[in-house]
């Protein structure tokens, strides 16, 4: 009987009827009771109650076509502004399409039933049910080629510095056009949030940089610097008696690049560490097909990516990011006060030197 009662200690499922004036936090707490709704509620709680502690360094990874759907403006920018995100790893495509909003270039709601042959003939580009004029791409390309040809880009650098410089010029263009809070890179620039891209050549930003290289111009991206800088962010968060939390949207290369910081510290550099402390992932992939290889919390633990003691503080929500992220963001904004910005971009050099000293002096 004692064992039986142990399994029946959970809160009774008996939600109140919904009312017309229900608030989002009440909706999540009172009606997201089971299955992936329950997991989404767990993610909201973990993010607010633990990951947003002042001693936690929070990394966000972005994969999938999130910014064309408007999630940059609606969710990611408010998260950065309120100090809820300290560093980012993103696909280049998300950063490229993010720039459209700051440049005053329009994306439109459409339909995935459109005839793509006709769209091509009419000069319309489709991202599922988001559509834009082909000229949006050409205008954005011209903007990137113009700024990437400027003197300050003509050197070797990591993607954090590369995106910081881009963010500076996107911010200037926003102001000139009277735009406000339109771009992730602009907002990250203002709050010194370093933004990395795990595969910088795999986007239209990388394509335009490649065009410049044919003319002997443009930046030379140092990917090893990115690997060491991101590892130093996590290492110093933990060595400074703090904690590390990862908020993973989708999967792909950004997911692995963020999680590999711990194996880089432990396996490659041979420094004592235990793994990330908090882990939230929103995904529609499955582990049995390899789509979540090394990324479910328990599997990631076997790689040293997640602290074994932190498994209760890990949540995987099997849901579309375009559904989950607005709910998590609204829940956090209504439940937690703003955090002081860590401004890690300006601290990159110091953090990297600390990691180097720990490695060479071990």
**Catalytic residue, candidates 39, 243, 255, 305:** 305
Instruction: Decide if 305 is catalytic.
Output: yes
**DSSP letter, residue 249:** E
Alpha carbon of 175 to those of 142, 180, 216: distances in Å?
19, 7, 31
Residues with Cβ within 8 Å of residue 168, at least 6 apart in sequence = 189
**74-80 long-range contacts, Cβ below 8 Å, gap at least 24?**
74/326, 74/329, 75/325, 75/326, 75/329, 76/184, 76/325, 77/181, 77/183, 77/184, 77/187, 78/329, 78/333, 79/329, 79/332, 80/184, 80/187, 80/188, 80/191, 80/193
Q: Are 257 and 285 a contacting pair, CB within 8 Å?
A: no
Q: Which residues are catalytic?
A: 305
């Amino acid at each position: 009987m004692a064992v039986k009662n142990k399994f029946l200690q959970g809160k009774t499922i008996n939600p109140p009827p919904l009312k017309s004036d229900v608030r989002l936090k009440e909706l999540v707490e009172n009606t997201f009771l089971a299955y992936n709704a329950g997991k989404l509620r767990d993610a909201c709680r973990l993010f607010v109650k633990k990951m947003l502690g002042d001693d936690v360094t929070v990394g966000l990874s972005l994969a999938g076509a999130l910014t064309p759907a408007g999630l940059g403006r609606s969710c990611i920018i408010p998260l950065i502004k309120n100090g809820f995100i300290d560093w980012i790893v993103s696909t280049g495509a998300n950063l490229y399409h993010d720039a459209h909003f700051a440049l005053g270039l329009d994306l439109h709601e459409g339909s995935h039933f459109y005839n793509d042959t006709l769209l091509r003939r009419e000069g319309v580009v489709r991202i599922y049910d988001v559509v834009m004029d082909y000229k949006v791409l050409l205008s954005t390309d011209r903007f990137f080629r113009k700024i990437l040809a400027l003197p300050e880009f003509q050197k070797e650098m990591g993607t954090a510095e590369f995106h910081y410089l881009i963010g500076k010029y996107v911010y200037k263009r926003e102001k000139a056009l009277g735009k406000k809070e339109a771009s992730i890179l602009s907002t990250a620039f203002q709050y010194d949030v370093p933004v990395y891209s795990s595969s910088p050549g795999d986007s239209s930003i990388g394509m335009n940089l490649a065009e410049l290289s044919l003319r002997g111009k443009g930046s030379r991206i140092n990917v090893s610097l990115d690997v060491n800088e991101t590892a130093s962010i996590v290492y110093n968060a933990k060595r400074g008696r703090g904690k590390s939390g990862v908020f993973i949207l989708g999967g792909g290369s950004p997911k692995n690049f963020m999680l590999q910081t711990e194996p880089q510290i432990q396996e490659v550099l041979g420094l004592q560490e235990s793994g990330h402390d908090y882990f939230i992932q929103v995904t529609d992939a499955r582990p049995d097909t390899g789509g979540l290889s090394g990324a479910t919390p328990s599997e990631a633990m076997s790689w040293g990516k997640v602290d074994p003691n932190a498994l209760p503080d890990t949540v995987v929500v099997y849901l579309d990011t375009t559904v989950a992220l607005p709910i998590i963001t609204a829940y956090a904004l209504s439940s937690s006060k703003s955090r002081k910005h860590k401004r890690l971009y300006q601290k990159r050099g110091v953090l990297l030197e600390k990691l180097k000293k720990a490695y060479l002096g071990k």
